[in-house]
Amino acid sequence: MTNTILNVKQLQKEYTGEITYKALKGIDFHLVEKEFVAVMGPSGSGKTTFLNCISTIDRPSNGSIIINSKDPYKLNDDELARFRRTELGFVFQDFNLVHTLTVEENILLPLTLDSVTEKDMNQSLEKVAAFLGIEEILKKRTFEISGGQKQRVAIARAVIHNPKLLLADEPTGNLDSKSVNSVMMLFESINKTFNTAILMVTHDAYVASFAERVIFIQDGILYNEIHRGKNKQLFYQEIMDTLTFLGGGQHEF
């Protein structure tokens, strides 16, 4: 039986100020183990807010989020910090690397915070560095490596603790086309090799076509979803058609 890694029910997020803005208006969504899902939608549709609520960056106004049978919003601060480090992996557009640390130290940061033994850290590092092809840059500083290499390092840091769920926000936004393809093939490999469920926000139809399923958010609600099947080119075209129907071309999302 396939386990549900993420279960979202009637998720709502409201920002209050001079004007009250409802970013999410009641989204139901679930993600099962080993599944790879992309989230798309127009600018301001709520897709980043959706990811931020799941990643515990933003607290929902209403509704529930259950990750691997746990409700992160019922945890205290220490429990939540540990939950993020053990259950979740994060990959962002701007890499979020610590520039004063070496590549190796950046990757090991989650394990260092959890006081993992040096032997276990080295074994994990060796495995993930070989998988991502970054053994030769481990002793370098982040300013000495390329954008594509930086994203590989960020991915290594995100998966070194074998999270159940990997969350990615525009992970290819700062990469050239060659690096985009390389990074997305890595995401596919991580999904299949480590059985890691992936939820990824992207504006790029080509990037989204690597996922098994794409959901579209518009005006704070779940508008539509499509599944890849066996024909990736047809899937890409269906993504493009949906984006066009929603009101713009690929670069407007």
- 129-170: pLDDT as tens digits: 999 999 999 999 999 999 899 999 999 999 999 999 999 999
Whole-angstrom distance, CA of residue 216 vs CA of residue 37: 11
The HSE-up count of residue 215 (CA atoms within 13 Å, CB side) is: 23
The yes-or-no verdict on residue 190 having pLDDT over 50 is yes
Whole-angstrom distance, CA of residue 153 vs CA of residue 128: 10
Tell me the pTM: 0.92
Give me the pLDDT at residue 252, please.
Answer: 37
Give me the pLDDT at residue 248, please.
Answer: 52
Residues 6-21, mean pLDDT to the nearest whole number? 93
Banded pLDDT at 253 (limits 50, 70, 90): very low
Give me the pLDDT at residue 116, please.
Answer: 85
Weakest mean pLDDT among 27-31, 124-128, 173-177: 173-177
pLDDT digits (tens, 9 = 90+) for 68-121: 999 999 999 999 999 998 899 999 888 889 999 999 999 999 888 888 899 999
- Quickly list H helices, 20-102: 47-54, 77-87
Q: Which two tokens stand for residue 146?
A: 């390329």
Residues in the chain, total = 253
The yes-or-no verdict on residue 251 having pLDDT over 80 is no
Give me the pLDDT at residue 108, please.
Answer: 93
Give me the pLDDT at residue 26, please.
Answer: 96
Helices and strands, counts by H and E, the chain:
8, 9
Which CATH class for the 4-225+247-252 domain?
Answer: alpha beta
Residues 44-68, mean pLDDT to the nearest whole number? 95
The yes-or-no verdict on residue 250 having pLDDT over 50 is no
Contact (CB, 8 A) for 171 and 93:
yes
Beta strands per DSSP E along the chain? 4-15, 21-32, 36-40, 62-67, 88-92, 165-169, 197-201, 213-218, 221-227
Per-chain mean pLDDT for the chain? 92
Proportion of the chain in helix, strand, coil states, percent, rounded to 5: 40, 25, 30
Whole-angstrom distance, CA of residue 42 vs CA of residue 32: 25
Give me the pLDDT at residue 203, please.
Answer: 93
CA 69 to chain centre: 19
Give me the pLDDT at residue 249, please.
Answer: 44
